[in-house]
Amino acid sequence: MNSRIFLLLISVFFISSANAVSVQGLYRAEINLPVTQSETQMLDEAFGLAVENVLIKVSGDKNAITGNLLVQAKKKASTWVAQHSVASLNELLPSDNGFVPGKEVKVIFYQESIDGFLSENGLPVWGDNRPSVLIWLVSESNGIRTLSGSREPSETLNEFAQAANQLGVPIYAPLLDDVDKKSIAVSDVWGFFEDNIANASKRYQTDSAAALKISNYAGHIGGSLLVLLKNGETERFSLSGETPSDIVGQASIALAKTFSSRYASVRNRLSASKMNVRVAGVISYSIMNKVQSYLESISVVRDVTLVQVDGEKVEFSVEIDGDKQKLFNSISLSRLLINAPLNALDPDANRVVSYQYSGVK
């Protein structure tokens, strides 16, 4: 079975398998506020909250969007707004004066303004093509451990999906059907047995997998996160807090930062570098345009220039932000180009990175 389950808030959806996910709405935010002040004051507050939300999603680094940087962003937020709308909510919202009517403010920011601010402050800009993550979540309450999945949902799993969604990380959950239960046990996830987790995750065809364990024993809350990356590397995080929600929040922040550091770069003139990318199997002009457009769409890529055409092989000069590995990581999220290393004896092996066009994105 090649289906995966995407958890968004409390809803579960089936979608066909794919690699990377194009995350929508990175520069958009929806803010609900009680009506306790003038509309001008409410809009100023809404723009400030919205810009914080968007800066976190685009950078993937929540811990960096704080302090004086956040103060500066909120001051400039109103000048970055491309579009906004205000609508009345059906429900009342809590305020200092009890429950009062509420407003929903939808805000869309200019991408250039958000990206420029992040770059000026030495923070990465993470594009909308992001790795999909399968999450194995196990909770322990007074010695009893349980796995969560689409067929065995939990409030904690939905809370984690909501937190990850706010950070722009596409989260999926296992079915926990008979196939899963035969291939992995609760103890495998709790013990972070990497091989067992990786093998059980293969059927879902996500770009990566993660295991999150949360313990609540005699009032003591703790947790750990294991991230299994596509290249075989792993990262582990120890988490602590006063409530399971604290653990969920820390886990989602750690997950977003892990991927942002691998796929996003700081955009400035000092970080630019160039490399040549050769693609074989380009049999038509339309395919050449498709490959060039794809390379240009990668967030770490500044510019793509056609260097030469040799039969079915096309070579591009690619200018990128940051180190070359981030370009390789980004290309690996798509099935359009397949890595096809040149033979070490090839005279171009040291100056060209080689791929094969697959025809499938």
Which DSSP state fits 359? S
Cα–Cα distance measured from residue 255 to residue 175, given in angstroms and rounded to the nearest whole number: 21
Which DSSP state fits 62? G
Extract the runs of DSSP E, i.e. beta strands, from the chain.
3-8, 11-16, 21-22, 28-34, 81-95, 98-109, 129-130, 133-141, 144-148, 171-173, 208-217, 220-228, 234-240, 272-280, 301-310, 313-321, 337-339, 352-357
pLDDT at 273: 87
| Residues sharing a CB contact under 8 Å with residue 267, sequence separation 6 or more, in sequence order | 115, 118, 119, 125, 302, 321
CA distances from 260 to 44, 129, 281, 290 (A): 29, 11, 31, 26
Share of the chain above pLDDT 70, in %: 94
pLDDT at 322: 85
In the chain, what are the domains?
28-121 (no CATH), 133-263 (3.30.160.100), 272-357 (3.30.70)
pLDDT at 19: 64
pLDDT mean by block of 10 residues, the chain; 361 residues = 39 45 95 94 97 98 97 98 97 92 97 97 95 97 93 95 96 96 97 98 96 91 96 94 95 98 86 90 96 95 96 96 91 92 83 91 63
| Residues sharing a CB contact under 8 Å with residue 225, sequence separation 6 or more, in sequence order | 210, 211, 212, 236, 237, 239, 251, 254, 255
What confidence tens digit (pLDDT) does each residue in 106-116 have? 999 999 999 99
pLDDT at 107: 98
- The structure tokens 């194009």 sit at 22
Give this prediction's pTM: 0.88
pLDDT at 355: 97
What confidence tens digit (pLDDT) does each residue in 142-172 have? 889 999 999 999 999 999 999 999 999 999 9
pLDDT at 11: 34
Tokens of residue 66, six digits: 């704080």
pLDDT at 267: 84
pLDDT at 196: 98
| Residues sharing a CB contact under 8 Å with residue 11, sequence separation 6 or more, in sequence order | none
- The structure tokens 């590995």 sit at 325
Q: Are 353 and 278 in contact (CB under 8 A)?
A: yes
Tokens of residue 62, six digits: 């929540």
- The structure tokens 């004086």 sit at 68
